[in-house]
Amino acid sequence: MGEPEDSSEDFSTVFEAAFARLQVTVLEACGEAPDWPEKIALGVRAGLAFAAADPAAAQALTNGALAHGVEGVARYERLVNYLGERLYPGRDERREGPRLPGITERAMAGGVLTLVAQRLDRGGAAELAELAPEAVQFVLTPYLGGKEARSVAARFGLSEG
């Protein structure tokens, strides 16, 4: 048997190009906001719009990465860590409540990536941008609480409020 059509070298190139484009997209979107919660709301919205506009890139970053064994999983972990690092400053936004578990940022990033992967698996890339309100609330709730997370989404035109 020959080598699979999407060799490790080809996958590496595709993943790295998609990851770089996603990073630029998220950083540009976040740069428009004055405060951390708003940066996250705009970043989540931009990330989902990126996935909806380029499902092949989103597939490479999620399902494709996980299907490429140890190398792919390592790349996926790098993506989760990158996204989680954007969330870490939210710990400073917390004004009350118990200390967040150390895995919070990775869990939030991984949760959103799982939503993307699931939609892609069932051909629902067009639905991804519509997930922004719920994804923003999901990501911000551990840091701000549900009411404030919904408020941030509403202020940035992500939900009806």
Give the tens place of pLDDT for each residue, 13-41: 999 999 999 999 999 999 878 899 999 99
| Domains of the chain (ranges, CATH numbers) | 8-155 (1.10.357)
Confidence band for 128, pLDDT divided at 50, 70 and 90: very high
Given a cut of 70, is residue 6 above it in pLDDT? Answer: no
Helix (H, G, I), strand (E, B) or coil at 4: coil
The amino acid at residue 2 is G
Give the tens place of pLDDT for each residue, 86-110: 999 998 877 666 789 999 999 999 9
Task: Indicate the pTM of the whole model.
Answer: 0.89
Across the range 112-135, mean pLDDT stands at 95
Across the range 140-151, mean pLDDT stands at 93
Two tokens, residue 142: 């551990």
